[in-house]
Amino acid sequence: MHEYSIVQALINQCEDNANIHNATKVTKVVTKIGVLSGVEPHLLEVAFDTFKEGTICDSAELVMNIQQVVIYCKDCKSESILEELVMACPKCKSLHTNIIDGEDMYLMTLEME
């Protein structure tokens, strides 16, 4: 489960940001998780709840915003959110597409005290 190493890096980011802003506690961690990121939200939540104990995130709430795959079609010049994981443009059916969102996981915001 690589979610454990992801959570460890996430908590480290929280601690670094808290130190920069002279905070002693993180109360909310908001993330954006792309459906193609390889991160399983349920496993991430379990790992976060397990590893946050004794850290600056001890009482933090984890909010996971799931990002659908967004593609750009080079033929019809449109952006589309994919309902299915088929990389064809839903408007013109072209396969000349680029993924522009939905592949990564980001720390979006922190609430700190």
Q: What pLDDT is stored for residue 27 in this prediction?
A: 98
Question: What DSSP line would sit under 38-106, residue for residue?
Answer: ---HHHHHHHHHHH-TTSTTTTPEEEEEEEPPEEEETTT--EEE-SSS--S-TTT--S-EEEEESS-EE
Instruction: For 29-84, write each residue's pLDDT tens digit.
Output: 999 999 999 999 999 999 999 999 999 999 999 999 999 999 999 999 999 999 88
**Whether pLDDT at 20 is above 60:** yes
Domain limits of the chain?
Answer: 3-112
Q: What is the pTM of this model?
A: 0.87
Q: What pLDDT is stored for residue 3 in this prediction?
A: 87
76 and 92 in contact (C-beta within 8 Å)? yes
CA geometry: angle at 45 spanning 30 and 98, to 5°? 60
CATH architecture of 3-112: 2-Layer Sandwich (3.30)
Q: What pLDDT is stored for residue 81 in this prediction?
A: 96
What angle do helix axes 41-51 and 3-20 make, rounded to 10 degrees?
A: 60
